[in-house]
């Protein structure tokens, strides 16, 4: 599960970490979001006819035949995304990357699930992250978003060490694999191999408890990402 992320650096910092400049659409201002929820507009990297572009796309997607029948999905399981009826079309044409700085998960008290402690997960190096994503979005940086535009973050199993927080986590790719994932010449089978075999291992991450204020999407600010010393769990 990935239901809340952080995305606060200057866009150019993600581009430099990716090793890919220029990228179209980069704002000169920091993104400055420390509590990004689903269904909001999120900066997304995708291939355009003129190269890579970063722009706002809504976090949440449903194919045309499912719209209005269920809430938009926010995640896609790496084990099934390439072949599921829900995602197989955008697997071929809509691979994208969410540049991010971390994500939140909530640890629940087994005796009382209403008691939850948020944790922030980041790379141990504190470098930018690149979440594998799938979406439907405008090409060419022109025009208003269409009905149905949006994206999902691909998730994988948390693996040993992170299971006590949540059994799913975003599929985080190295800069090299992220660029390969975005390559329009990459075939669907090769993309599936990247997704299944080349995500960063759990040893690459650090996680720590943060203030429970992160649980309210109306709260914002760098203080939400600071480690606390007195977690409830």
Active site residue 16: no
Active site residue 105: yes
Q: Is the dihedral of CA 83, 5, 131, 161 positive or negative?
A: negative
Q: Tokens standing for 36? A: 């990004």
Other C-beta atoms within 10 Å of 163: how many? 13
Measured CA to CA, the distance from residue 185 to residue 200 in angstroms comes to 23
Residue identified by tokens 């980069």 is 26
Q: What is the dihedral of CA 158, 164, 166, 172, to 10 degrees?
A: -30
By the 8 A CB rule, do 131 and 170 touch? yes
Measured CA to CA, the distance from residue 161 to residue 174 in angstroms comes to 20
Q: Tokens standing for 43? A: 């900066």
Which of 13, 55, 105, 185 is catalytic? The answer is: 105
Q: Give the relative orientation of helices 175-182 and 11-18 as an angle to the nearest 10 degrees.
A: 90
Measured CA to CA, the distance from residue 151 to residue 106 in angstroms comes to 23
Which of 2, 13, 185, 203 is catalytic? The answer is: 2
Residues noted as catalytic: 2, 105
């Amino acid at each position: 599960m990935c239901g809340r992320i952080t995305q606060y650096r200057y866009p150019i910092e993600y581009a430099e970490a990716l090793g890919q400049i220029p990228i179209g659409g980069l704002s000169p201002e920091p993104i400055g979001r420390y509590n990004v929820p689903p269904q909001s507009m999120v900066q997304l990297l995708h291939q355009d006819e003129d190269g890579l572009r970063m722009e706002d796309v809504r976090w949440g997607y449903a194919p045309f035949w499912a719209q209005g029948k269920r809430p938009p999905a926010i995640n896609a399981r790496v084990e099934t995304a390439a072949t599921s009826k829900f995602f197989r079309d955008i697997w071929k044409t809509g691979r994208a990357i969410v540049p991010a700085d971390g994500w939140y998960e909530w640890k629940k008290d087994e005796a009382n699930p209403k008691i939850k402690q948020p944790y922030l997960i980041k790379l141990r190096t504190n470098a930018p992250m690149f979440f594998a994503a799938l979406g439907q979005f405008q090409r060419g940086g022109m025009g208003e978003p269409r009905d149905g535009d949006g994206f999902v973050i691909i998730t994988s199993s948390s693996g040993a060490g992170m299971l006590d927080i949540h059994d799913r986590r975003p599929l985080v790719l190295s800069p090299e694999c992220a660029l390969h994932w975005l390559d329009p010449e990459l075939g669907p089978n090769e993309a599936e191999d990247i997704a299944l075999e080349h995500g960063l291992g759990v040893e690459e991450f650090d996680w720590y408890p943060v203030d429970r204020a992160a649980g309210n999407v109306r709260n914002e600010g760098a203080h939400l990402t600071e480690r606390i010393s007195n977690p409830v769990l």
